[in-house]
Amino acid sequence: MWVDRELARMDPDTDWERMISLYVGHRVPEFALAMMVYPGTMRMMQPGFGAATLAHTGKLETRPRRRFEDGNKFLMAWMVDGLSSAAGREAAERLNRIHLAVSRGTPHLPGNFDDVDDFVYPLVLLATSADRLQTSLGLPGTSENMRIAWHRWAQTLFRLLVRESGPLADEAFPEDWDAMTEFALKFESRPYEETESGHRVATAMMEFFAEYWFPTPLRAFGRDLTRYLAGERVCRLHRIGWLSPRRERAVRVFLKCAFLAQRLLPDYRRPLPQRLRQTRRGPSAGSTP
């Protein structure tokens, strides 16, 4: 694969930005991005006020495809254009403005954008989730060089963000890949309380993922896939059900085949942002691309 050959020639301490851009731009399919974003959001809103904020904006429940596309624009600016690019810096500034605007508009939900851990966890999740999923399936995980690159990426983006009470530039971020993984496990093991807003938003995300990516006969499997990627603890927290052992085995087989196919298929020549723009010109929301 040409991407692997290029990555092997790079130094993660100096070329990490280009490594992330190359990997995400030419190795990641749109479906994999969706598998990360929707279940990942369910994980991020384990703290009740996070789910309350998402429910307040209403976007995930009423315009889920638009929410996915808007989120992709941020990720493509940060991952493919790069954090040092004008697009990457502007995307960070735009997110900061959105967070502060939502914070001012929700005085009944104080502190939603002020807990440092709630900024650390999404970045750690973006950096480590693919590795954690693949290793949990018994497959090879992220290479050491890419682990270094992902850590540098997450740490650098963290420094560009601003919480309600000020910049995060001087706040602590996990010092390496192992520390990021440990942080994620600790964050996910905290006691969280069920909320009605968490249930509503998680249900909306699960239904959209299944309806958009799977034809009608396979939508139950699409919902199972979303549940599996979110994890049993998160699904029970949001009251969206869990899988029977037989259905869990089916999802695991599907994911193993998908990862193995990704390793065997040629790398994409067109970068991911171009492929995403083509999809937006294609099927309408609710249909299968």
Confidence of residue 112 (pLDDT cuts 50, 70, 90): low
50: pLDDT strictly greater than 60: yes
Residue 170's CB is within 10 A of a number of other CB atoms, namely 7
Q: What is the mean pLDDT of residues 189-205?
A: 91
Give whole-number Cα distances, 181 to 21, 37, 170, in Å: 22, 18, 21
pLDDT, tens only, 228-262: 999 999 999 999 999 999 999 999 999 999 999 98
Confidence of residue 102 (pLDDT cuts 50, 70, 90): confident
Supply the mean pLDDT for the chain. 89
Give whole-number Cα distances, 275 to 203, 215, 268, in Å: 27, 21, 10
Q: Is the separation of the CB atoms in 133 and 229 below 8 Å? A: yes
